[in-house]
Structure 1
Amino acid sequence: MALKPPPIGDLLSQFKGLAEDSGLKQELDKNSKALMQTMLAKLDVVTREEFDAQCALLARAQQRIAELEAQIKLLEENG
């Protein structure tokens, strides 16, 4: 049976524990944050503000589409 590796959070906390005594904690924190930012950038993740802005645009577009569909239906019935 293959062994399952521990989650990345567990590994990071173990490394931090080892580094606290040697004064490398700040360096490790900085490097781990940079690594996580790089990983998130590769995942093409958007910010909450960007997500909310897109949701608002979508809601307005859906409302406008509904209005235009209603106008088309009315024109078809009367035309």
Structure 2
Amino acid sequence: MPKLTETPAGAPSPFRSNEEAARYLRLSPRTLEKYRVSGEGPRFRKLGRRVVYSVVDLESWAAARACSSTATPAD
């Protein structure tokens, strides 16, 4: 597993790349890209040309999809 990007102070970054975020959510990177285009995915940030995801946003997005039945849509 690649080492997470560290901040200058040596603390782990609160942001994840598309690949890291996909691995965190157990999705394919391509699925996360499609969700980003359709607006279905977690909030993201554009830092220059880079797309990054906050761990807090990833957790919030996943929590919002909690279901108690397969008959109930997540939205």
Pair in the same fold by TM > 0.5: no
* Structure showing greater relative contact order (alpha-carbon pairs closer than 8 Å, 6 or more residues apart): 2
The structure richer in helix per residue is: 1
Return the structure number with greater strand share.
Answer: 2
| TM norm structure 2 | 0.28
The TM-score with structure 1 as length reference comes to: 0.27
